[in-house]
Amino acid sequence: MSTAAAVQDFLLPDLGEGLTEAEIVRWLVAEGDVVTVDQPVVEVETAKATVEVPSPYAGTVAVRHAAEGATLEVGRPLLTVTPPGTVAGVATTVPAVSVAVPAATQPAEEGSGKVLVGYGTQPLGTNRRRRAAARALTPPTGADPQVTRSTAPAPAPAAGQAPAEAARVVSPVVRALAAANGLDLGSVAGTGAGAVITRQDVNAALAQRDLCRAVRTPAPTAPAQAVGETRLPLRGVRGAIARKLTKAAAVPTATVWVDVDATELLELKRSLDGIGLLALLARFTVAGLRLFPELNATVREDEIVRYDSVHLGIAAQTDAGLLVPVVRDADRLTTRGFQRELAALVERARSGGHGPAELTGGTFTLNNYGTFGVDGSSMLLNAPEAGILGIGRIIERPWTFEGRIESRSISQLSLVFDHRVCDGAAAGGFLRFVADCVEHPGATFADL
């Protein structure tokens, strides 16, 4: 904050554990706009989520320090706000402006709202109404500030008329996605609360449109003469994933793997109502980390740090990319507790409902890439974690069982680990323990 001119610099706040930067997706205010405390001023996207950032100051927006699409580091200036009654730090007399504000835009009782990183002292929904009122107070560019004007609520739709499209779209990201693809939001049916159009609704409409175009478009009679290309900016979630994986590739890792007979595991799953394979594998993984704590660790500068608790990350493929929601204190959960947590976390990750805090802080990751129909994977670590366990598809194969060849349900387990935290003995011991749990779950499950 500047002291002499009383100009207030709003710095990009800490967006969650391990997140050091964010991309400016959309500005919600312009230079010259009047803002209030807790009013959302910008929508940003990190490696984990898209969030609206509220202003901690009231006044007039003097400077926006980054353009849409730019990446800004945490702690760098985001906005410069001039307090009410000043222009560039000089006290002024504010011209009288008569504004009729609808009752719906009046501020509600002060409370505690769910906003970003501790900001916010008002109920949900108030920020959007305050934003509308603040913009109504700002004269358009070139307008005479002495002119008295009135702002009235938009007329209600006539009987039988559908509500305006803007009333059914809340997220600026949804608008931007539709605009970038030339999609008319008026033709999209909203499935969100109150018929609000969600990102999934837009993606479904785009997929349907592309399918219809493919059906109507005849196949070309001759090959194209020129080779085209599509260039996509490496930013946002995709860019953050790229930077994180580049760092992970620099870690000295080693990989061990083993084929396992999962026939008895499938039989156990069928006998446990409502328990999925992933929950069982998660339980085996946590038990293995208790026996081999070397893998529940990280490297910080010249130290190996071993964690007291297991915060298990579950890799999940989503529309936004590969996300890893974290099950906190996984070593304290029962198997059914695991199932409930996993179902809720994965669903929120796929629907985009996770915040940065829910997608950071893991100590070890479990990756079920068998859902993609593959047997193995050359995985990269989910840095700064020291280990990741993967499981491939389970398929019927000839297998020697009790001295005879039978058709058994076989899968492959792979472990990638940071070779700085342990050697092959610990890594192999951990993997062999999990493999034994998979092959003989009845003998080991009672002790977990």
As given in the structure block, the two tokens for residue 91 are 């006290």
Hey, which residues are catalytic here?
419
pLDDT (0 to 100) of residue 59 = 92
- Using CA atoms, how far residue 41 sits from 28, 207, 358, in Å, is 5, 32, 23
Q: What is the mean pLDDT of residues 181-203?
A: 81
Are the CB atoms for 172 and 128 separated by under 8 Å?
A: no
> Does a cis peptide bond (omega within 30 degrees of 0) precede residue 441?
no
pLDDT band at 132 (very low <50, low <70, confident <90, very high): very low
Phi, psi (deg, nearest 5) at residue 109: -60, 140
> Does a cis peptide bond (omega within 30 degrees of 0) precede residue 220?
no
Phi, psi (deg, nearest 5) at residue 238: -65, -40
Phi, psi (deg, nearest 5) at residue 61: -70, 115
Report DSSP state, residue 272: S
Are the CB atoms for 391 and 281 separated by under 8 Å?
A: yes
Q: List, as one string, the DSSP characters of 94-129.
A: PPP------GGGS---------GGG---S-TTHHHH
**pLDDT reading at 101 higher than 70:** no
pLDDT (0 to 100) of residue 71 = 86
**pLDDT reading at 22 higher than 50:** yes
As given in the structure block, the two tokens for residue 311 are 């915060």
Are the CB atoms for 114 and 124 separated by under 8 Å?
A: yes
Q: What is the mean pLDDT of residues 262-285?
A: 93
**pLDDT reading at 369 higher than 80:** yes
Comparing 240 with 300, which gets the higher pLDDT? Answer: 300
Q: Are strands 404-418 and 21-27 parallel, antiparallel or unpaired?
A: unpaired
SS3 content of the chain, % helix, strand, coil (to 5): 35, 25, 45
Are the CB atoms for 384 and 299 separated by under 8 Å?
A: yes
Counting Cα atoms < 13 Å in the Cβ hemisphere of 235 gives: 15
pLDDT (0 to 100) of residue 223 = 57
Give the model confidence (pLDDT) of 312-344 as tens digits: 999 888 777 778 889 999 999 998 999 999 888
As given in the structure block, the two tokens for residue 182 are 């030339």
pLDDT band at 60 (very low <50, low <70, confident <90, very high): very high
Q: Which domains, ranges and CATH numbers included, belong to the chain?
A: 8-137 (2.40.50.100), 237-447 (3.30.559.10)
Within 10 A of 161 (CB to CB), how many other CB atoms are there? Answer: 8
Nearest to 286 by CA among 346, 339, 349, 329: 329
Q: Which residues contact 272 (CB under 8 A, 6 or more apart)?
A: 280, 335
Are the CB atoms for 368 and 315 separated by under 8 Å?
A: yes
Q: What is the mean pLDDT of residues 100-106?
A: 38
Maximum pairwise Cα distance, the chain: 96
Query: Full-prediction pTM beyond 0.75?
Result: no
